[in-house]
């Protein structure tokens, strides 16, 4: 605290001098006048009226400043129209159960900085309105016996992100963590182990991953594991399978996950594995990033009976955004396009050998105009949501984008900042505000609470 000297006229007479205390608060300087001091000083009533006017001015200015902040994205970028979540819906929990962005973090990329790479980073999560995000810990099967170490390194990269940006993101181990983090204006992140390869044949690794914050596990990716058969192998390579469904080890894993409070994710396991899980689980199950088989007959999608079984378990089907899971015509169209441009794409693969992300970005730039003619529209996501709602109700569906895990996104949804567009499409279809809040996050938070606490 220091002092400032002011001069004023006392009753219209000569100048008088007085030392007024001042104090600095967060870099702003306030004089004693602002705190209503100096009663009884000649001419004080005129000064007091001026102070009241100053206070009113500052209050209005502060309100306008805060309004500007809530209308802006990172760096003060104004968010208007479709770029903002509709305020009238009162969306607090906006959950996406599946994102692969940690694959960029583990390679050393700083996700706290807005970039043009991939589909996500902390600034873009905030701009897109995401408040509760599932971070996939995916291990390529090529890691083989080193899969556990690779998964651990990916989790390390998440821990580094949280330590580096503690005011923006935190780890959610239980529902109360989600509510506390979101209430503090932070992104609540949970870890999801994708594919049982990192478990090897060791049940104790489930405990290890749980202790590090993993709250969701798929027992397979596309490859069959010692725990269970995958959807791809059951559908495309059934002859190579020694057994379909859960093995004894897999059954023990499901029981262990139930005991600990780990969500069982059925998005990649095969149909036989799915029904084995349904038979023995005591907790709700989720499909973190799948679609509806009746709308797109991919083996990765769920048939009506499976959707009903998930709903009966009090679980949730989270709709993925990958066009190949939304529209059965996309993959053949994409393959035909790639065939027409084989020589150019072969050259790109050679240039970006070992750098798949860079290859995909360059491929999409090269083929942009043609690719845009076959990209599935954003509205198709809502077709899948609507189908599930009509089949089992609005309490059993959510969002599982698969951002940063797909090479092509729906038209109109280039990255996570486009999420408000999806909400507006739901509004356009006539979904009620209450149902939109459920679909966009409340449903998943309910399941997360029931399983993980």
Question: Hey, what long-range contacts does 227-230 have (CB within 8 A, 24 or more apart)?
Answer: 227/196, 227/199, 227/253, 228/196, 228/269, 228/270, 228/273, 228/276, 229/269, 229/270, 229/272, 229/273, 230/268, 230/269, 230/270, 230/273
> Can you tell me the mean pLDDT for 180-208?
96
CATH of span 93-327+376-452: 3.20.20.140
278-331 pLDDT tens trace: 999 999 999 999 999 999 999 999 999 999 999 999 999 999 999 999 999 999
Q: How high is the pLDDT of residue 53?
A: 53
DSSP H stretches of helix in 212-322: 231-236, 248-260, 271-280, 304-312
Contact at 8 Å (CB) between 58 and 65? no
| Mean pLDDT estimate for the chain | 84
The predicted pLDDT at position 341 comes to: 80
- The domain limits of the chain are 2-70, 93-327+376-452
Q: What is the pLDDT of residue 96?
A: 98
More confident residue, 343 or 129: 129
Q: What is the pLDDT of residue 357?
A: 65
Q: Which residues neighbour 206 within 8 Å (Cβ) at sequence distance 6 or greater?
A: 199, 217, 253, 256, 257, 260, 262
pLDDT of residue 411: 94
- The string of pLDDT tens digits covering residues 219-264 is 999 999 999 999 999 999 998 898 899 999 999 999 999 999 999 9
How much is the pLDDT for 355? 66
- Cβ-contact 168, 112 below 8 angstroms: yes
pLDDT band at 55; cut points 50, 70, 90: low
| pLDDT more than 70, % of the chain | 81
- For 14-18, 313-317, 346-350, 448-452, which range has the lowest pLDDT when averaged over its residues? 14-18
Q: How far apart are CA 298 and CA 189, in angstroms?
A: 29
Local confidence band at 349 (pLDDT 50, 70, 90 cut-offs): confident
What is the chain's Cα-based Rg? 27
| 174 has pLDDT over 80 | yes
- pLDDT score at 105: 96
The pLDDT tens digits of the residues spanning 145-156 come to: 999 999 999 999
pLDDT for 194 beyond 70: yes
Q: Which of 308, 295, 228 is nearest to 268 (CA)?
A: 228
**Spatial contact of 421 and 401, defined as CB atoms under 8 Å apart:** no
Other beta carbons less than 10 A from residue 393's beta carbon? 12
Of 228, 91, 111, 216, the residue nearest 165 (C-alpha): 111
Task: Indicate the pLDDT class of residue 177, thresholds 50, 70 and 90.
Answer: very high
Q: Which residue has the higher pLDDT, 81 or 256?
A: 256
Report residue 170's pLDDT band, with 50, 70 and 90 as the boundaries.
Answer: very high
Backbone angles phi, psi at 155, to 5 degrees: -65, -40
pLDDT at 143 over 50: yes
Closest by alpha carbon to 194, among 306, 122, 275, 99? 99
**Total-model pTM:** 0.80
pLDDT attached to residue 221 = 93
Segment 101-124, tens digit of pLDDT: 999 999 999 999 999 889 999 999
Q: What is the pLDDT of residue 98?
A: 98
Q: What's residue 391's pLDDT?
A: 98
What pLDDT sits at residue 33?
36
Higher-pLDDT residue of 206, 81? 206
146 CB-side CA count, 13 A: 6
Q: Looking at 39-43, 168-172, 410-414, which range is the least confident one?
A: 39-43
């Amino acid at each position: 605290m220091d002092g400032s000297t002011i001069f004023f006229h006392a009753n219209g007479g000569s100048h008088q001098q007085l030392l007024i205390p001042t104090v600095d608060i967060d870099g702003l300087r306030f004089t004693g006048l602002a705190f209503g001091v100096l009663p009884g000083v000649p001419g004080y009533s005129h000064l007091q009226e001026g102070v009241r006017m100053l206070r009113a001015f500052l209050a209005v200015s502060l309100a306008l400043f805060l309004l500007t902040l809530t209308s802006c994205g990172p760096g003060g970028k104004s968010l208007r129209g479709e770029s903002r979540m509709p305020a009238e819906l009162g969306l607090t929990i906006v959950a996406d159960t599946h994102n692969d962005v940690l694959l960029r973090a583990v390679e050393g990329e700083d996700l706290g900085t807005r970039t043009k790479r991939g589909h996500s980073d902390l600034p873009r999560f905030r701009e897109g309105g995401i408040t509760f995000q599932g971070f996939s810990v995916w291990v390529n099967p090529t890691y083989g016996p080193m899969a556990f170490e690779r998964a651990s390194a990916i989790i390390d990269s998440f821990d580094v992100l949280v330590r580096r940006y503690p005011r923006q993101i935190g780890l959610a181990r239980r529902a109360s963590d989600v509510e506390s983090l979101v209430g503090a204006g932070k992104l609540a992140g949970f870890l999801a182990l994708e594919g049982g390869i990192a478990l090897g044949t060791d049940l104790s690794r489930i405990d290890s991953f749980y202790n590090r914050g993993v709250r969701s596990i798929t027992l397979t990716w596309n490859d069959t594991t010692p725990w269970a058969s995958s959807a791809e192998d059951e559908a495309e390579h059934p002859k190579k399978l020694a057994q379909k469904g859960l093995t004894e080890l897999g059954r023990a894993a499901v029981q262990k996950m139930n005991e600990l409070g780990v969500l069982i994710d059925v998005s990649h396991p095969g149909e036989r594995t799915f029904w084995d899980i349904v038979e023995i689980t005591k907790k709700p199950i989720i499909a973190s990033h799948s679609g509806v088989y009746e709308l797109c007959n991919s083996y990765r999608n769920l048939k009506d009976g499976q959707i009903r079984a998930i709903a009966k378990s009090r679980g949730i089907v989270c709709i993925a955004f990958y066009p190949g899971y939304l529209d059965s015509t996309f993959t053949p169209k994409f393959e035909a396009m790639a065939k027409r441009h084989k020589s150019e794409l072969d050259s790109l693969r050679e240039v970006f050998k070992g750098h798949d992300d860079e290859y995909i970005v360059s491929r999409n730039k090269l083929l942009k105009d043609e690719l845009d003619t076959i990209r599935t529209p954003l509205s198709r996501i809502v077709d899948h949501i609507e189908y599930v709602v009509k089949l089992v109700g609005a309490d059993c569906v959510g969002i599982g984008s698969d951002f940063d895990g797909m090479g092509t996104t729906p038209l109109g949804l280039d990255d996570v900042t486009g999420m408000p567009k999806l909400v507006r499409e739901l509004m356009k279809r006539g979904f009620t505000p209450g149902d939109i809040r459920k679909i966009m996050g409340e449903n998943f938070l309910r399941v997360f609470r029931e399983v993980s606490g």
